[in-house]
Amino acid sequence: MTAELINGEFNSNLETDIRAIPQPEKKKKRPLLYIDDYKYQIESKKIKVSKWVKKFYFEYYPKLFEDEVATFDETAARLAVSFIEKFCRHHEGEKGGQLIELESWQKAFIAVLFGTKDRKGFRLFREILLIIGRKNGKTLLAAAISTYCAYLDGETGGRIYFVAPKLAQANLCFSAVYDIIKQDKTLSLGTQKRRTDLFIERSGTTIAPLAFSSKKSDGLNCSCVICDEIASWAGEAGLRQYEVLKSSVGARTQPIILSISTAGYVNDSIYDELFTRATAVLNGSSEELRLLPLLYVIDDPADWNNIEELEKSNPNLDVSITREFLLDEMKIAETSHSKYLEFLTKYCNIKSNSSIAWLPYHIIDKCFSGETLTLEDARDTYALIGLDLSRTTDLTAVCLGWQRDGKLYIIAHFWLPGEKLEEASANDGLPYKAFIQRGFLSLSGDNIIDYRDVYNWIIEAVQEYRILPQVIGYDRYSAQYLIQDLKDSGLVVDDVYQGFNLTGVIREAEGFIRDGFLEFGDNDLLKIHLLNCALKFDNENKRCKMIKTASRNHIDGAAALLDLLTVRQKHWNEIGEYLTNG
């Protein structure tokens, strides 16, 4: 196959030759080029991958085709892989100048990225999160992908950027692309190196490094963005930069935002948000379709010094990183706590504080029978209540639970300020009016919650339905006058601090849900809140706490449930015999 530039035009026989290759006859289930080969290697245990990579290739990705959400374009997958292997060369090290030979995991990844199409025939995946260990060829792979996008992606006036907090970091990948282009006569002809960027004459495409500047990024019209080492994108600045970049691709039909990184040390960053979103997608608790999550991490942090476990976070083991090197680093880490944390983070991809989605959809869903639960069902029972009062301008949640016939039944009710209904429906993308009609949600006050409504709901349960709450668990930041009113009514209240101290309660709650001990009826709003939950881990101390899968999501119902289960666990020895309602 050849490719040549004539009169400044890129006339690639590569694409023509590839499309001319006889295609196999259509069958009910055609093999997926490169992908099925990789899956076979995983199934036959020739290579080891993390549970998240298995979930992607064996559960999530096949379901896209079963649900007819996606189709596979074999020619597009072959074209991307062939271009990289025939035009892209190593830019440094002992292989410098040699053509890239993609590993099976890289071929499968590229095939998924470029071969998976939506119903309109455009690429399905627009955001990509690839987490791999240090020295696993991140820069070279990102450079090769962006070079393909620059020359054969069909974008006129393409805008390709390498983004990092500092220009020096952004320049690493940009320089790798420039070196790839310089080493190939076909690519370099008609490509200009200007002061701050590369310019491809035939398509009007520019390639440039970009340091953080959300203001300067506002006017960009990106077609491909490489977000380098996003684990180092600190706090609000990183989150803001990423959101600006996401908005900058809005005019493109099939843009790519590739975030490629090892784990890092920055907390509450865009890395954490993307990682949590990724695990939610893989667990089936998120319905977003445009995110491609490949998480090469070890499964068991306690097994960090097992070289076989390390294969899961180092897919390029024995290629760009040697076993000997990892074993040497491991020996150092075994004698130094700081080196241990560095090894765990950079070679195992386990943050000392990391976040993953809590429970998959099918596990949570089995606790929702579809039967409507009302206070009448709880009449004449001993019960528990959990309160999450949140801010006065946001959702407030109450969970009331009673045990009967071997199950713990939960009624959840929510309140929202009346003037916030339309705004909340638009921002959250949820049918709050429908939830009002179904009895899960009430409007309270105008612009702030009137906590007398919450008080009246609890008192109605006690007086009209003769429900006897043994303890009411509440977030200690709740409105104190409501808590005082409940005390004055003779009810027992106990404050709950929701932090890493609730690890035991969270584990118990997970067990209750997996075992089907909890019954939530048909409350879809509560289901959404449970699916929005993620766990943030303190791996060093083996603790966790509940957080949101994304900053805009709500978990108020789940927080109220945890308050209830906390006081249940804390006071069980005193009141357990009553709570069984035997």
Q: CB within 8 A of 506, min separation 6: which ones?
A: 535, 544, 545, 546, 562
Q: What are the phi and psi torsion angles at 309 (to 5°)?
A: -65, -35
b/e per residue, 420-438, with b = 16+ CB within 10 A? Answer: beeebbeeeebebeebeee
Strand pairing report for 468-475 and 198-200: unpaired
Using DSSP bridges, classify how beta strands 71-72 and 116-117 pair: parallel, antiparallel or unpaired.
antiparallel
> What gap in Å lies between CA 169 and CA 271, rounded to an integer?
17
Q: What is the model's pLDDT at position 308?
A: 95
User: φ, ψ for residue 334 (rounded to 5)?
Assistant: -70, -15
What pLDDT does residue 478 have?
63
DSSP annotation of 100 reads P
Largest interatomic CA distance in the chain? 89
Nearest to 138 by CA among 354, 313, 323, 326: 313
For residue 170, the tally of other CB atoms under 10 A from its CB is: 23
Q: Which long-range contacts (C-beta less than 8 Å, at least 24 apart) are formed by 184-189?
A: 184/87, 184/88, 184/89, 186/3, 186/4, 186/5, 186/10, 186/87, 187/87, 187/147, 187/151, 189/5, 189/8
Q: What is the pLDDT of residues 357-392, one digit of tens each?
A: 888 888 999 999 999 999 999 999 999 999 998 665
Q: Tally Cβ neighbours within 10 Å of residue 218.
A: 10
Q: Phi and psi dihedrals of 145, rounded to 5?
A: -65, -45
* Pick from 397, 423, 442: nearest CA to 562: 397
Ramachandran category for residue 429: left, alpha or beta (phi over 0 → left; psi -120 to 50 → alpha): left
pTM of the model: 0.76
Structural domains of the chain, ranges and CATH numbers in brackets: 3-22+29-357 (3.40.50.300), 361-579 (3.30.420.240)
Q: 209 with 145: CB under 8 angstroms?
A: no
- φ and ψ of 343, to 5 deg: -65, -45
Three-class SS of 19-50: HHCCCCCCCCCCCCCCHHHHHHHHHCCCCCCC
For tokens 């040549």, the residue is 4
Pick out the chain residues at pLDDT < 50. Answer: 1-9, 18, 21, 24, 26-27
In DSSP terms, 388 is beta-bridged to 397
Angle, CA of 213, 218 and 221, to the nearest 5°: 115
